[in-house]
Structure 1
Amino acid sequence: MSQIESPKSKESTLRVFVKRDDVVWNFVGTLISMGSNFLLIPLLVYFLSNEQLGLWYVFIALAGFAQLLEFGFTATLSRNILFVLSGARILSKEGCDYASVEPGVNWHLFRVVLRTSKVVYAVIGLVALFVSGALGTVYVSSVTDGFLIEWSLESWCVFVVSIFSNLYFLYCLTFLRGVGDVAGENKAKTLARLAQFAITVVLLLAGLGLLGAAIGYLAYSIVMWAIANDLFRKHSEVQVGLRSDDVPVSKAEMRSVLSTVSFVAWRDGVVSFAWYGATQATSLLSSAFLGLAETATYSVMLQLASAIYNISSTYLRSCFPMFQSAYVSGDRKTQRSALEKGVSCYVAVYALGTIGVVLIVLPILALIREGFTCDRILFIGIAVYYFLLNQHSLFCNIIVSMNEIPYFKAYLASTAAGVCLSSVFCGLLGMGAWGLILGQAIPQLFYNNWRWPKYVLERIDLTYPSALANGFRWWFRKFCRKSDLEK
């Protein structure tokens, strides 16, 4: 269960390593999340009226906007938790104060960061509760003509509570990610997603309609919280360390930690907004310039490209905690190894996934629904754009693993340029969907696509070709050994 190497003495530093369970549960979590969302769509369409279904997606949109209030704290706080476990005695606004890194763990500082995390999420949750309870209620009331749609008032009340719980209970996942338990984090989210699906189905069958869907959404956060808390308590070495410190945590200490982590967190939040513009803006522009029919096929292709990315990047994302721990300890060899295996896996799986969609998935979709055709060449263009976009995003995740975020201005500039160019290409020049893709791709190619992979590779004395070559060799040897054992 634990992803932390247990200390042999009180002066030993806890080290994080990626394990098979991390990768497996990351894959399982990704597949379950996508699968349950797809399976819920026909159920909601069947059991809800058109008005209720439209209102449900209004709820989801409001919840998605509320999630932006998290504003980068999850990644930043979990990273600093891991830094403390890796021996850091002083938290830095950027990078790591290597002079403060010593053997052992400062358990009091660890407790301060945990306590600060819970307070941060409580504040974020309460702000979301107030905004959704006030402004959200006014908006929902207006689109339902005063909550005249069946179950609309009751469902919205439940949903407001779930908006708070989904944000506040993020502290549980932050703790698990902070101790390097990638498997535990994904296990909690996966089992909670299955519980949401099961509860929603039962309540829909019971005739609760929209209220059933809202209760299922609330159940997700409660089940996730219960499982994540239980898994965190099973990290015995961490629990022993926490009990070893009985010095009260002061408000001044918490303010100091908050001031330090906020420096990167708010920049990470800005990046989230920019990322939303680089990915979701094309669907909005498509509906504005191309019409709903063409937007439907275009959005399906975007969803397929996103699915390929989510699956292909799973292994590298599983390696992030190990990379962070190796960064704090100055272990360049482990950093290079993690990057080589992760990037090569991303490239190989993404290529195979794209080929599979072009040759299998798109033809099947054309058979399922008459008149639904997807341009294969356009999909390949979308896939290439998403490959480069998500690859530099993964490298930026590695950069922020080093507690730096030099790319947030470039993200904002490229996203703004992309929206403008897409509008010109698609709207004024009439280039259709290709205008959307090229308009977004050109600014990214100009800087982000190459700059941030180069930034990371130079930091760890590695080149992109050598990273791929070394990674492919490692995977080839791994599969060969497995084949030999099976014979």
Structure 2
Amino acid sequence: MEIKVGKRDIIWSYLGSFFQYCTSLIILPLILSNILEEELGLWYSFASIGTLVTYLDFGFSTTLVRNITYAWSGANKIRKQGFDTTDVKKDVNVTFVKQILFTCRMVCLVVALIALMVMATAGTVYVAYISRGLMNKGGAMLAWGIYAVAMFLNIYYNYCANALRGIGLISQYQKILVVSRIAQIALSYLGIKIGYGLIALSAAYLVSGFMIRVFSKYYLDRAVKEVEEQCPKLANEKTPLRDKILGSVEIFKDIWFNAKRSGIISLCSYATNQSLTLICSAYLGVGETAAYGLSLQIVTAIMNVAGILMAAYQPKLINSMVLGKNDEYRKMFSMCMFVFSSVALGGITAFSLVSKELLTLLGSNTSLPIGMFCFMGLYMYLEHNHGQYTSYFTMRNEIIYLKAYVISSLCIVLGSWILAVCGMNIYVLMLVHFVVQICFNNWYWPHRAMKLMNTNVIKTAQEGAVETWGLLKKLLRI
């Protein structure tokens, strides 16, 4: 089955992704003017730990989207590595889709329980340590407890939201994000105004995540039922639990081959982009962590917004690749990369010009060093740029960049930690990130991906500009 990305999907992707990535920025003025700098640093530490535990799924989230798209496109089996267009049939293999979903549900439950255990033990010890100087330590620990429960639910039900994207129900998924994030903003605002601070932020995050999972499951079940109705025999089939489990074991073995690689790469990405927040909290104090965390939050939001189009087109890209439409794939990929670079570089430049005045207007208790922000913007752009190109290999079910990611992340973490112990400031630690990545990852993976797509930097930019203009004209005809 061919997956299509329409105008509504694109518009809702931008609207939904805006709320997904910018919710924290929307409530940021309220946080900056009502929460102390030390508490802000603690909240960023919550987020860093939460990001770490989500990586415990070892790549099953991204692997799920890819394999659900394969199955929805008509594939009848999962290959450990790569794919074969001869595996693809005309109709959706609903039984296969349901078996993949059952497998990932069981995996997500196990991962969620492990994550909860990690947060309840090591996470609690760490939070207790860094909050030892706060006046309201009890409130901070309660906020952490709520946050841990929220993370458990989010990890467990994550397969529903990812499956929606995998089968091409992009606008439905984005609508859910909009509603849930608006609820999070409203609850955060209300809770902070009545004086609950970090507790309000954690509770709002819990409610928002719960809404996403409930509505995602509703849309997913409805989509599967609609396909089943086209084949009454499938609707009446009841697979025994024993057969489900045995089938899940076989699927797990196939998925695990690349999922474990994706998981390790996810941990490497965390180590590369998030570990410095924890190192900064432990050695430089939560005050300096607030400035670094604020810069990271804004830069990450800009990069995420820049990558919205690529995320929206991912099911279609995979679908085109599986169906052997290589020229169509290259044009879409070039368009996504052109939009990514334009939005990322434009956003970093624009915010750097207005950041001082904007934070003053908002009455921020935390300053944003412009030098830190611009330097971070540079190396984070390069980081996300090569990450977009490695997605080409991921979509081909080929995780060939594992070794490079492991080596670079180890160098970054160990280098930053050693220099932090030696008393170096935050700028020196950031320089480690920049130097390590520019030596290999920043240039090699874009070069290799473009070579395999039979293109180059100039051709990608030209083709991307043409395709982007065509997309804009299409959207403006609404």
2:361 matches 1:374 = no
Equivalent residue for 1:65?
52
Equivalent residue for 1:386?
380
Letter in 1 for 2:351: V
Q: Is the 8 A contact 1:320 1:398 kept in 2?
A: no
2:88 matches 1:101 = yes
Q: Is the 8 A contact 1:78 1:175 kept in 2?
A: yes
Unpaired segments ≥5 residues, structure 2:
none
Q: Is the 8 A contact 1:90 1:97 kept in 2?
A: no
- Residue 480 to residue 51, structure 1, CA distance change in 2 (3 Å): closer
TM-score, normalised by the number of residues in structure 2: 0.84
- Which of these residues, 170, 173, 178, is aligned with residue 185 of structure 1? 173
2:225 matches 1:232 = no
2:105 matches 1:118 = yes
Equivalent residue for 1:277?
271
Tell me, in whole angstroms, the C-alpha distance in 1 between the residues paired with 2:140 and 2:292: 31
Aligned to 2:76, the other structure's residue is in SS state coil
Report the more deviating stretch, 201-210 or 97-106: 201-210
Tell me, in whole angstroms, the C-alpha distance in 2 between the residues paired with 1:450 and 1:270: 21
**In the TM superposition, what is the alpha-carbon distance from 1:320 to its structure 2 partner?**
1.1
Equivalent residue for 1:173?
161
Letter in 1 for 2:24: N
2:116 matches 1:129 = yes
TM-score, normalised by the number of residues in structure 1: 0.82
**In the TM superposition, what is the alpha-carbon distance from 1:350 to its structure 2 partner?**
2.0
- Which of these residues, 465, 471, 478, is aligned with residue 458 of structure 2? 465
2:314 matches 1:320 = yes
**In the TM superposition, what is the alpha-carbon distance from 1:400 to its structure 2 partner?**
0.9
Tell me, in whole angstroms, the C-alpha distance in 1 between the residues paired with 2:116 and 2:420: 39
**In the TM superposition, what is the alpha-carbon distance from 1:73 to its structure 2 partner?**
0.6
Aligned to 2:61, the other structure's residue is in SS state helix
Structure of higher CA gyration radius: 1
Equivalent residue for 1:25?
12
Letter in 1 for 2:369: C
**In the TM superposition, what is the alpha-carbon distance from 1:381 to its structure 2 partner?**
3.5
Aligned to 1:32, the other structure's residue is in SS state helix
Report the more deviating stretch, 393-402 or 40-49: 40-49
Q: Is the 8 A contact 1:52 1:149 kept in 2?
A: no
Tell me, in whole angstroms, the C-alpha distance in 2 between the residues paired with 1:348 and 1:106: 39
Tell me, in whole angstroms, the C-alpha distance in 1 between the residues paired with 2:401 and 2:109: 29
**In the TM superposition, what is the alpha-carbon distance from 1:259 to its structure 2 partner?**
0.9
- Which of these residues, 207, 210, 214, is aligned with residue 222 of structure 1? 210
1:34-53 mapped onto 2 (5 Å cutoff) = 34-41=21-28, 43=30
**In the TM superposition, what is the alpha-carbon distance from 1:325 to its structure 2 partner?**
0.7
**In the TM superposition, what is the alpha-carbon distance from 1:457 to its structure 2 partner?**
1.9
Equivalent residue for 1:309?
303
- Residue 158 to residue 354, structure 1, CA distance change in 2 (3 Å): closer
**In the TM superposition, what is the alpha-carbon distance from 1:407 to its structure 2 partner?**
0.7
Tell me, in whole angstroms, the C-alpha distance in 1 between the residues paired with 2:463 and 2:474: 17
C-alpha root-mean-square deviation of aligned residues, in Å?
3.7
Equivalent residue for 2:327?
333
Aligned to 1:269, the other structure's residue is in SS state helix
- Residue 196 to residue 239, structure 1, CA distance change in 2 (3 Å): farther
Q: Output one character per residue of 1:309-336: Cα deviation in whole Å (capped at 9) or x when no partner.
A: 1121111221111111111111102211
Q: Is the 8 A contact 1:195 1:223 kept in 2?
A: no
Unpaired segments ≥5 residues, structure 1:
1-13
- Which of these residues, 182, 185, 189, is aligned with residue 197 of structure 1? 185
Report the more deviating stretch, 236-245 or 413-422: 236-245
Equivalent residue for 2:348?
354
Tell me, in whole angstroms, the C-alpha distance in 1 between the residues paired with 2:455 and 2:145: 53
Equivalent residue for 2:3?
16
- Residue 371 to residue 395, structure 1, CA distance change in 2 (3 Å): closer
- Residue 389 to residue 265, structure 1, CA distance change in 2 (3 Å): same
- Residue 461 to residue 429, structure 1, CA distance change in 2 (3 Å): farther
Q: Is the 8 A contact 1:108 1:247 kept in 2?
A: no
Q: Is the 8 A contact 1:107 1:241 kept in 2?
A: no
**In the TM superposition, what is the alpha-carbon distance from 1:34 to its structure 2 partner?**
4.1
Letter in 1 for 2:392: I
Letter in 1 for 2:73: S
Letter in 2 for 1:324: I
- Which of these residues, 225, 242, 245, is aligned with residue 251 of structure 1? 245
**In the TM superposition, what is the alpha-carbon distance from 1:308 to its structure 2 partner?**
2.1
Equivalent residue for 2:400?
406
Tell me, in whole angstroms, the C-alpha distance in 2 between the residues paired with 1:111 and 1:35: 33
Letter in 2 for 1:307: A
Tell me, in whole angstroms, the C-alpha distance in 2 between the residues paired with 1:216 and 1:30: 18
Tell me, in whole angstroms, the C-alpha distance in 2 between the residues paired with 1:302 and 1:26: 23
**In the TM superposition, what is the alpha-carbon distance from 1:301 to its structure 2 partner?**
3.4
Equivalent residue for 2:468?
475
Tell me, in whole angstroms, the C-alpha distance in 1 between the residues paired with 2:297 and 2:442: 21
Tell me, in whole angstroms, the C-alpha distance in 2 between the residues paired with 1:380 and 1:198: 31
Aligned-pair identity (%): 26
**In the TM superposition, what is the alpha-carbon distance from 1:130 to its structure 2 partner?**
4.0
Equivalent residue for 1:9?
none
Equivalent residue for 1:87?
74
Q: Output one character per residue of 1:244-272: Cα deviation in whole Å (capped at 9) or x when no partner.
A: 42151532111000111111111111111
**In the TM superposition, what is the alpha-carbon distance from 1:67 to its structure 2 partner?**
1.6
Aligned to 1:250, the other structure's residue is in SS state helix
Report the more deviating stretch, 76-85 or 234-243: 234-243
**In the TM superposition, what is the alpha-carbon distance from 1:26 to its structure 2 partner?**
2.6
Which structure's relative contact order is higher, taking Cα pairs within 8 Å and 6+ residues apart? 2
Q: Is the 8 A contact 2:258 2:397 kept in 1?
A: yes
Q: Is the 8 A contact 1:87 1:102 kept in 2?
A: yes
Aligned to 1:330, the other structure's residue is in SS state coil
